[in-house]
Chains A and B, each alone.
Chain A
């Protein structure tokens, strides 16, 4: 079976101009321009099978969006091999375009000055969707997203959450085989975020669509993705099941402890456990190496007035925060 996405040694460089600040810098750059080539993505290897939902994670500027742009054929890779559904994306064959969709949370693809329904009718022609299929899919999507009353409203008059629902509809009407979701819930309130997530899950379950997601909201990734690819400085640093993601920080457990009253934060016990306290020192969250778990837990229970102690896997949000603050934690670059 053809892989949904196949990358081998994929790389992309961008040329940046350097300009000193101020008017003198502007004048200087008018005569002499200094350019620098910067790798945005390098040696990227990835295979995604049809039907997977994969989260591309990483801080701003890590190369996630550059990857998305290469996957969708918007930009041309500098080197390496890239195939999406057996097509070379930047050749932009019509057969390829009919199989994919891209939703950009920060950029509307709908026509701003007209109602969404007009855009949908246009897309029906572009994707050559037969009338009966179009009506059926439109009906299903309208019901699922509860947007019946919004179809005839000008897109520029819609709220952010409403617009995002329309963007999703526009991208799914042609039933793409691969959907690229770039920050689909950015700027949305919690309820709207959840609605969008639930919808994507339901749609994916029914259609077995391959979904590639980037998001800074770990709740999105947690709810949607079974597999995570971590991108740091243009390279892949983790690729595996979401439940193993915490292992990038080493074999550690996340322990949270409540106390009867305030406890001393300076105790030697807390050293090296990355303690995170509440304001009145009655609650602490710790990261304990697995081989010290029994001894440390026993010491806490014996020495302090513990009211509750719970152990859980490290939340993905916390793993990401840790990695962003201390990228050196990723000791093994080949991980």
Chain B
């Protein structure tokens, strides 16, 4: 199999995925603009209210503008790093739709990976536009190097989330519904990754525990890299997120091999 042929399969799948996203205009706009709306209606107002309380000037070293800057970066990390591939995948399995992908000479994993890539590329564009807007508003400051490193780190985060979503999605081989697990995973990771509140606000013992888990690397670390306040060596940070991605990939491959044997192709 030539590399060029494989690349053109990925390219064609990405194009199809874009066509599918664009087929439903409102859905597409909401998916893309959702996080921006959440930011303005919830996060900005919430932190304005907290810092508006009497006597609150800083929280663990974060003043209001630093907190808003932190939350903007959380949004950017979410755009580039978070994906939603698991939802379609579980449904494909449950309704027997993956049968078609098992017959095409392009793997199921590859199909979902390229669809995921298609969405993340759109999100990268949205992140870029948002970043230009918030920089013009003076909410964030960054250097070109930090921006590049941050985007690179977010790509690693995206890799991790893709594997985790794939893993949870293919549990549909055994479970009727996987959305509860997905919601739990997102909720837990939102909290422990620093997407809701910066990890500095957490007690020291909890932060030590979290160091051994993937969570801090999903939001807190990339936010710190973007804002230029990550004061630890970068290489281990990259190494750890890639290691967690590798572990998730290994688990997903193992579960896939087991699951495909249990697959009954229901509905055909």
Q: Given contacts A69-B99, A72-B103, are A118 and B264 in contact (CB under 8 A)? A: no
Q: Is A11 an interface residue (CB 8 A)?
A: no
Chain A 217-247 near chain B by CB (<8 Å), digits 1 or 0: 0000000000000000000000000000000
Residues facing A in B1-43 (CB within 8 A) are 1, 5, 8-9, 11-13, 15-16, 19-20, 23-24
Q: Are B12 and A121 in contact (CB under 8 A)?
A: yes
Partner of A75, one of B5, B100, B103, B263: B263
Is the interface on chain A under 10, 10 to 19, 20 to 34, or 35 or more residues? 20 to 34
Instruction: Provide the residues of chain B in CB contact with A14, threshold 8 Å.
Output: 264
Could you tell me the distance in whole angstroms from the C-beta of A90 to the nearest C-beta in chain B?
Answer: 8
Q: Given contacts A74-B102, A98-B105, A107-B96, are A113 and B20 in contact (CB under 8 A)? A: yes
Could you tell me the distance in whole angstroms from the C-beta of B99 to the nearest C-beta in chain A?
Answer: 5
Could you tell me the distance in whole angstroms from the C-beta of B66 to the nearest C-beta in chain A?
Answer: 43
Chain A residue nearest to B24 in the complex (CB) = A113
Q: Are A123 and B102 in contact (CB under 8 A)?
A: no
Q: Is A109 an interface residue (CB 8 A)?
A: yes
Q: Is A57 an interface residue (CB 8 A)?
A: no
Q: Is B97 an interface residue (CB 8 A)?
A: yes
Chain B residue nearest to A40 in the complex (CB) = B264
How far is B8's CA from A100's CA once the two chains are assembled, in angstroms? 21
Q: Given contacts A111-B20, A113-B20, are A126 and B105 in contact (CB under 8 A)? A: yes
How far is B180's CA from A239's CA once the two chains are assembled, in angstroms? 49
How far is B106's CA from A119's CA once the two chains are assembled, in angstroms? 14
Q: Is A135 an interface residue (CB 8 A)?
A: no
Instruction: Provide the residues of chain A in CB contact with B99, threshold 8 Å.
Output: 69, 72, 74, 102, 104, 107
Could you tell me the distance in whole angstroms from the C-beta of A74 to the nearest C-beta in chain B?
Answer: 5
Q: Are A114 and B265 in contact (CB under 8 A)?
A: no
Chain A 79-96 near chain B by CB (<8 Å), digits 1 or 0: 000000000000010100
Residues facing B in A64-79 (CB within 8 A) are 65, 69, 72-76
Q: Is B268 an interface residue (CB 8 A)?
A: yes
Instruction: Provide the residues of chain A in CB contact with B261, threshold 8 Å.
Output: 76
Q: Is B203 an interface residue (CB 8 A)?
A: no
Instruction: Provide the residues of chain B in CB contact with A154, threshold 8 Å.
Output: 23
Q: Are A128 and B5 in contact (CB under 8 A)?
A: yes
Instruction: Provide the residues of chain A in CB contact with B97, threshold 8 Å.
Output: 107
Instruction: Provide the residues of chain B in CB contact with A127, threshold 8 Å.
Output: 105
Instruction: Provide the residues of chain A in CB contact with B100, threshold 8 Å.
Output: 102, 107, 109
Q: Is B138 an interface residue (CB 8 A)?
A: no
How far is B266's CA from A65's CA once the two chains are assembled, in angstroms? 10
Q: Is A106 an interface residue (CB 8 A)?
A: yes
How far is B24's CA from A280's CA once the two chains are assembled, in angstroms? 59
Residue among A73, A97, A126, A127 facing the most chain B CB atoms (10 A cut-off): A126
10 intermolecular pairs with C-beta atoms under 8 Å apart = A69-B265, A98-B105, A102-B100, A107-B268, A122-B13, A122-B16, A124-B12, A125-B9, A125-B12, A154-B23
